[in-house]
Structure 1
Amino acid sequence: MAVKTAIKVKNLTHTVTANTGDLTILKKINMEIKEGESVAIIGASGSGKSTLLGLLAGLDINTAGDIYLYDHAFSEMDEEQRAILRGQYVGFIFQSFHLLPSLQAVENVMLPAELKGDKDARQKAEALLSKVGLSERLTHYPNQLSGGEQQRVAIARAFASSPKILFADEPTGNLDEGNGKIIIDQLFDLNHTHGTTLVMVTHDNELAQKCDRQLVMSAGQLVEN
């Protein structure tokens, strides 16, 4: 059986308006990522990595070109349609965790599944938190957790809605080496268990080398694909 294409990008360009005039951040990027692949986007600071990741996830809209998630073109959708598509296909892990401070760990993880109407949201959340070693922290609030524990909650939350594609922006960026290794191991373990397509921006060479492929960016262009 042929492997599906999870993400396809054609002539992607993104320009923003700055005080000094228009600034082109991404320039005619073409790429494909297959279903189940793990891909690291690497490059120097300012090369456009995080901008590209946000566009691929549908969190922002590109200036020109096309992005397809499972053959669905973002350019043909309004914001509401993009939000529905993200809910169906996408999970996201942010460097700064983005947990809701008023919710317990288990409630943070339950949220995406609850929004999809999953009646087993709590059971799944508890299983995922156990998988990342936090079965004793279910009722703790984010301010009662360490940075490493918060990132593990964020990873569990990203998998709670069973996304087909998981985007991660510097998932180990705010962690020490020990916690970073734990996060790397758990991220790939969950990725392999669920067969999820994994696309991440990272400066962590160990993390990048664990991926099937590395996409190298420089000055808004892919120089190695």
Structure 2
Amino acid sequence: MIKAENVQKRVPMAGSELEILKGISLEIKSGESVAIVGASGSGKSTLLGLLAGLDETSAGRIIINDTDLGQLDEDGRALFRGREVGFVFQSFQLLPALTALENVMLPLELKGEANAREQARHYLERVELGERMDHYPRQMSGGEQQRVAIARAFAARPRILFADEPTGNLDTRTGGHIIDLLFEINNQEGTTLVLVTHDMTLAQRCQRRLVLEAGELVEGN
């Protein structure tokens, strides 16, 4: 489902270039759960962003479900993400002016889903927030906000879910509950799960771990 071929990423820096990723090649099968781990600065989040089509490679190819992301322009990648991909971020990225229900409904409405409200309610109930649907993010704890983000990600029924440090802003107990919910729904939905984490407890729940070191894949390919 996901294939990276000699992926490189370089960015300009002080008259030269900084090489963040150095020829990454990997494959992730449909329905697989994979953790990308490594020290800070190893290129984990950069790789996740490239795999998700949030950024462009400097060299190499990324192919998802027979679609070469390098052949798409920015609008094309945005359409592809809306159709195929879901996200869960460390910072939750909820819209503060919308309730939990409205935050989950928004991507569904943008896709033109006729039953957006029903789908949003269903997934909020699945993450145990049935009584908090009308609350705004500021009225919710960090763990509750992340549960809204998980409901939002799964409600669109993506084929692939990308998560960037999904427990990074949570205490250990709350983070453990979030991990349980993430894998419970992921297993039920059969979604491909690709996540970046420093949390080895979370990484060990995945079927496979990809280890990055200074921009190179040193284990798990």
- TM-score class, shorter-chain normalisation, is over 0.9
Between the aligned partners of 2:213 and 2:15, the Cα distance in structure 1 is: 22
Query: Which residue of structure 2 aligns with residue 211 of structure 1?
Result: 206
Between the aligned partners of 1:128 and 1:182, the Cα distance in structure 2 is: 16
Between the aligned partners of 2:17 and 2:219, the Cα distance in structure 1 is: 26
Between the aligned partners of 2:53 and 2:115, the Cα distance in structure 1 is: 27
1:143 paired residue among 138, 144, 148: 138
> Is 2:29 the counterpart of 1:34?
yes
Deviations 1:129-169 (A, max 9, x none): 11111001000000000000000000100111100000000
> Is 2:65 the counterpart of 1:70?
yes
1:92 paired residue among 87, 90, 99: 87
SS across alignment from 2:173: helix
2:154 paired residue among 136, 139, 159: 159
Q: State the shift of 1:112 in Å.
A: 1.2
> Is 2:14 the counterpart of 1:14?
no
Between the aligned partners of 2:79 and 2:15, the Cα distance in structure 1 is: 36
1:118 paired residue among 110, 113, 118: 113
1:174 paired residue among 161, 169, 184: 169
SS across alignment from 2:151: helix
| Structure 1 spans left out of the alignment, 5+ residues | 1-5
SS across alignment from 1:135: coil
Q: What's the TM-score, normalizing by structure 2?
A: 0.98
1:57 paired residue among 49, 52, 59: 52
Q: What's the TM-score, normalizing by structure 1?
A: 0.97
Q: State the shift of 1:196 in Å.
A: 0.2
1:222 paired residue among 211, 217, 220: 217
Q: State the shift of 1:115 in Å.
A: 1.1
> Is 2:184 the counterpart of 1:189?
yes
Deviations 1:50-86 (A, max 9, x none): 0000010001111000001111001111111111111
* Identical residues among aligned pairs (%): 62
Deviations 1:116-135 (A, max 9, x none): 11111111111111111100
Q: State the shift of 1:20 in Å.
A: 5.3
Query: Which residue of structure 1 aligns with residue 43 of structure 2?
Result: 48
Superposition RMSD on alpha carbons, in Å?
0.7
Query: Which residue of structure 2 aligns with residue 3 of structure 1?
Result: none
| Structure 2 spans left out of the alignment, 5+ residues | none
